[in-house]
Amino acid sequence: MAAGATLNAASRKAILAAADSARVQRFVQTHGMRLGAARFVAGETMDDSIAALRRLNAQGLHANTTLLGEAVHDEATTQKVVAEYEEIIRRIDTEKLNANVALKLTHLGLDVSEDLAYANVSRLLELGSFIRIDMEQSAYVEATLRIYRRLREAGYDRIGTVLQAYLYRTPDDLDALLPLAPNLRLVKGAYLEPPDIAYPQKADVDAMYGRLMERMLSGGGYTAIATHDEALIDRAIAYTDAHGIGRDHFEFQMLYGVRTQLQLDLVRRGYKVLVATPYGPEWYPYLMRRLGERPANLLFFVRNALR
């Protein structure tokens, strides 16, 4: 068991490190969709995304959509990203889909300036739909939380963000946010972070997730429990039952293509489940993080390659 966990941690590190190699990137970008990326990504176009959202809604699942992309370094590109998000928000609205948008601030210009990212998100919030700001690498956490606060202070309430259980700082961040009755998604954390910033051992991350989840659920805001970990999902159900926390105060969230049966089982039991459903041509870093989470996914790719 301990040996398995060590092997998994080593594979995760190797996959996330290999993701930076130009050769790996070229190979995966050329063959990845055919080899299995389509399991995790709704497609490359907005029409693909809308079709996937419709299919999920028809099964009783809610969804969010994300135009894949990150680390944009010029303002003109961020304007194109904003324009595409404006269009998808309008289409979600027109087609009356149970869906919203989750986006990354480095896609909207955080690497150019904090003010640009803020301006771009507030422009999208003017459309009135709920938007969640994903959490990226630890270097962006401070700025992301600052922007979230600024938006709330400016009166935007239909906004949420994400906290990552693997970061040592997260319990303090949560305490600081709770007075705002925030809408928070809790995740374990998907990036390669050094041990002076984040728990290196999965068991510690899992334990911290459980504690943070209970604090969030009792904290008076809205909690999106984003995990495929059945032990934590069972714990959330037991905790909310025991403390009389209504189902309108929380939801489960999972990733497109991951634990689909579990998603449907929870819907059948009367829980709200949202499926995070990304699309777009820039799926490479997203796919590599999904492989890093579960090195066994590599086997899925290899099997497809051998077919």
What's the min distance (Å) between Cβ of 276 and ligand FDA?
4
CB-wise, 79 or 129, nearer to ligand FDA? 129
Binding ligand FDA (rule: CB under 6 A), the pick from 88, 124, 188, 288 is: 188
Contact 108, 81 (CB under 8 A): yes
SS3 131: strand
CB-wise, 78 or 297, nearer to ligand FDA? 297
E-assigned strand segments in 1-140: 62-67, 99-103, 131-133
CB-wise, 191 or 250, nearer to ligand FDA? 191
Beta bridge partners of 2: none
What's the min distance (Å) between Cβ of 76 and ligand FDA?
26
Of the chain, the end-to-end C-alpha distance in Å amounts to 32
Residue-by-residue DSSP string for 178-241: GGG--EEEEE---S---TTTB--SHHHHHHHHHHHHHHHHHTTSEEEEE---HHHHHHHHHHHH
Beta bridge partners of 101: 65, 131
Residue in the structure block whose two tokens are 């928070």: 184
User: Per-residue x/- mask for ligand FDA, residues 135 to 164, rule CB under 6 A?
Assistant: x--------------------------x-x
Catalytic residue among 12, 111, 173, 185: 185
Binding ligand FDA (rule: CB under 6 A), the pick from 70, 134, 173, 282 is: 134
Rounded (10°) angle between helices 2-18 and 284-293: 170
134 is an active site residue: yes
Tokens of 283: 């799926």
User: Per-residue x/- mask for ligand FDA, residues 193 to 232, rule CB under 6 A?
Assistant: ---------------------------------xxxx---
189 contacts ligand FDA (rule: CB under 6 A): yes
Q: Are strands 99-103 and 159-164 parallel, antiparallel or unpaired?
A: unpaired
Catalytic residue among 12, 134, 289, 290: 134
191 contacts ligand FDA (rule: CB under 6 A): yes
Chain positions 229 to 258 lying near ligand FDA, rule: CB under 6 A, are 229, 253-255, 258
CB-wise, 79 or 197, nearer to ligand FDA? 197
Chain positions 274 to 293 lying near ligand FDA, rule: CB under 6 A, are 276, 290, 293
46 vs 99: CA distance, rounded Å: 14
Q: Given the rule CB under 6 A, which residues bind ligand FDA? A: 134-135, 162, 164, 187-191, 226-229, 253-255, 258-259, 276, 290, 293-294, 297
